Amino acid sequence: MDSYFKNTESFVSSVQEEFDKYQNTFFPYRPPEFFCLELNGEAGELANIEKKRWKGREVPEEKFSDEAADVLIALMNYSNSRGINLGKAVSEKLQKIDIKRIEMSKEGKQF
């Protein structure tokens, strides 16, 4: 599994670098707080369309991918503004989750 986590780290980090270049080239500086608020707003929009679908209302399928993309972009921008290496953070978190999953499996529990 370690190679999987390493590949994840490398991939996410390279995508994050490209987001940073794009943001810095075409948009003005914004502080981390701005991107944190933007991230929460975008996640709220995604949650809202899920709620509408859950209640039985019509939501075009492309709205889900559009809002999910907005969440990812906001997360990348937030991570870059905070100096978070998201690839490393995700890889480390996946390793912690995997350890917990293995421990629980040994106890006959599901994660």
User: Is the separation of the CB atoms in 108 and 29 below 8 Å?
Assistant: no
Contacts of 12 by beta carbon, 8 Å cutoff, 6+ apart? 86, 87, 90, 91
Model pLDDT for residues 41-94, shown as the tens digit of each residue = 999 999 999 999 999 999 999 999 999 999 999 999 999 999 999 999 999 999
Q: Is the pLDDT of residue 1 over 60?
A: no
Which residue is it, tokens 């996640």?
A: 43
Domain segments of the chain: what residues?
A: 2-106
Strands of 6-108, DSSP E? none
Mean pLDDT of the chain: 94
Which CATH fold would you assign to the domain 2-106? Helix Hairpins (1.10.287)
SS3 (DSSP) at 98: helix
What value does the mean pLDDT take over residues 19-44? 97
CA dist., res. 74 & res. 80, Å (int): 10
SS3 (DSSP) at 27: coil
- What global pTM score does this model have? 0.86
